[in-house]
Amino acid sequence: MSVSLDFLVNLLDLEPIEVNIFRGIQPNEERQRVFGGQVLAQALVAAGRTVETGTVHSLHAYFLRPGDPNVPILYEVDRIRDGKSFTTRRVVAIQHGRAIFNMQTSFHVAEPGFEHQRPMPDVPRPEELASMRERLAKFPGAVEEFDARPHPIAQRIIGELPWIGRTVREPVQQLWIKADGTLPADPLLHAAVVTYASDMSLFDTILGPHAVNWDDPEFMGASLDHCMWFHRPFNADSWLLYDTDSPVASGSRGLARGFLYDETGRLVVSMVQEGLTRIIDPAKDH
């Protein structure tokens, strides 16, 4: 396991501090707020640690307040239902005595049924594409900045890097992702790693048509909610194609969809996220 991936696995190894209550640590990084994918993944692990049968098949989450990256996060799990086929959990993430996030997630015992799927797009294979570090080499100082932080998720972006420059693009993006190393054979951990990675680039699709960057002072962006459906077993440490689009943006909110395919072409995970896309008027006090 790489050092960067070991960092993520440790981040997801929550401390049980009471029945149905877990504590998540924070990475030793300088951030203004907690990365949404971290809270999603830690909350999923907290829920999964209270489930005896089945694997996760869906989660529906809301980001309520920005997380403080300087203090741990408490995850309280409500065991809503334990059924024969489906198990349901509700998770609330708490900091400073207030809820910053809540999620409802469901676990399902595998059973046979209908089979069909949307085909995987025809795209270059990951081995045909340059690594993120190689692509950043052409930008002064970018590699040094990249190397200064852990990168547990390897990425191979198809086409232009979405956050370089202010080029107006179509609201679509495709990239290959995987854990940067080998993970233990734990389905909950693989699901949590993909959940963490799913929030890394989905929002970028919303910004494509709008010549705006995350660091623009006139722009405020944040994830509002995040939903995922896990269709088939997969390995998060093997390449997965992340096919994303944004069908609409309106009213200071944008919607993005994502589909994850394994290298054999199986659609394994689908997701939808709505994000805040607020244009700030510098003449007004916000």
pLDDT given for residue 166 in this prediction: 66
- Tell me, what DSSP letter sits at residue 74? E
- In Å, what is the CA distance from 270 to each residue of 88, 92, 210, 273? 19, 23, 25, 11
Query: What residues have CB less than 8 Å from 280, skipping those under 6 apart?
Result: 217, 218, 219, 220, 286
What is the rounded average pLDDT of the residues 128-157? 86
Greater model confidence, 132 or 224: 224
Summarize pLDDT for 181-208 with one digit per residue, the tens. Answer: 999 999 999 999 999 999 998 999 999 8
Q: Which phi and psi angles does 198 have, rounded to 5°? A: -65, -25
**Using one digit for the tens of pLDDT, what is the confidence trace for 42-78?**
999 999 999 999 999 999 999 999 999 999 999 999 9
Which residues lie below 8 Å from residue 68, measured CB to CB, with a gap of 6+?
Answer: 33, 34, 95, 96
CA distance 214 to 197: 18
- Return the axis-axis angle of helices 187-198 and 3-11, rounded to nearest 10°: 100
Q: What is 3-110+126-279's CATH number? A: 2.40.160.210
Domain boundaries, the chain: 3-110+126-279
Q: Burial, 67: exposed, middle or buried (Cβ in 10 Å; 0-12, 13-18, 19+)?
A: buried
**Residue 213 — left, alpha, or beta (φ > 0 → left; ψ -120 to 50 → alpha)?**
beta
pLDDT of residue 53: 94
Report the share of the chain in percent with pLDDT over 90: 77
Q: What is the pLDDT of residue 286?
A: 45
Residue 1 predicted with pLDDT over 80: no
Average pLDDT of span 258-283: 92
The sheet carrying 15-18 orders its strands as 15-18, 21-24, 73-82, 86-95, 98-108, 55-63, 219-230, 267-279, 253-262, 240-250, 172-179, 153-158
Of 268, 246, 249, residue with least CA distance to 257: 246
Query: Which residues carry out catalysis?
Result: 199, 223, 273
- Which pTM was predicted? 0.94
